[in-house]
Amino acid sequence: MSLFYLIAALVVCITIHEASHAYVAYKLGDPTAKRDGRVSLNPLRHLDPLGTLAVFIFHIGWGKPVVINDRNFKYPVRDSALTALAGPISNLLTAFLIAIPLKHLDFSGVLVYLGFLLQSIFSLSIVLAVFNLIPLPPFDGSKILGLFIPSKYQHKYDFFMQRAMGYVVLVLLFDIYLLESLVSFSFVKVFIGISYDLISGFILSNT
């Protein structure tokens, strides 16, 4: 995937991902993201300057996190989980929609570049969904996992998520960059690769 297609796909996928978080939070009773202008498909509302810069350096990037106030939710734990789930689900739905023209249309000739772009969006949508379903902070999966934590342990779980975030990021960076350079193996990349193959195969066989 060339840098141009990577950037274009990231803009599309991150915008859809973050806007979905904001929209679901708003519908569940929290107006915070709405007031911040995040219920929007305008990419400028969702791009993070550091995350965008990282695309050019590391070929990986991220968007500006959507701020929510779970005290505005009627059912804070459940609604926080649904808000978190909205991001990965929106990316998987995007992959399904993109798969239809990819599978059934001919992108030869002058349309070959459009085909490259759609393939990039398809692939990155699945990767972003899988990556965010990792059940550790700061990923969406940690909020989804919170739905299954008994209420008497919720306070401890929230404390864990706040304290563990930095350590999780460091471990991931170690795995992706240092471990792979030392032993040519990355747990995260293997997990994402297997998940991508399974999900993309399922989508393409059902479109």
pTM over 0.85: yes
For this structure, is 18 an active site residue? yes
The residues spanned by each domain of the chain are: 3-205
Per-residue pLDDT of the chain (207 residues; tens, 9 = 90+): 587 888 899 899 999 999 999 999 999 999 999 999 999 999 999 988 877 766 666 556 678 999 999 999 999 999 999 999 999 999 999 999 999 999 999 998 889 999 999 999 999 999 999 989 999 888 999 999 999 999 889 899 988 888 888 888 888 888 887 888 888 888 988 999 999 999 999 999 999
CA distance 24 to 31: 10
Residue 21 · residue 84 · CB < 8 Å = yes
Helix residue ranges, H only, the chain? 3-27, 32-35, 49-58, 76-104, 112-132, 140-146, 154-173, 180-183, 187-205
CA distance 59 to 52: 9
- The residue from 9, 15, 18, 134 that is catalytic is 18
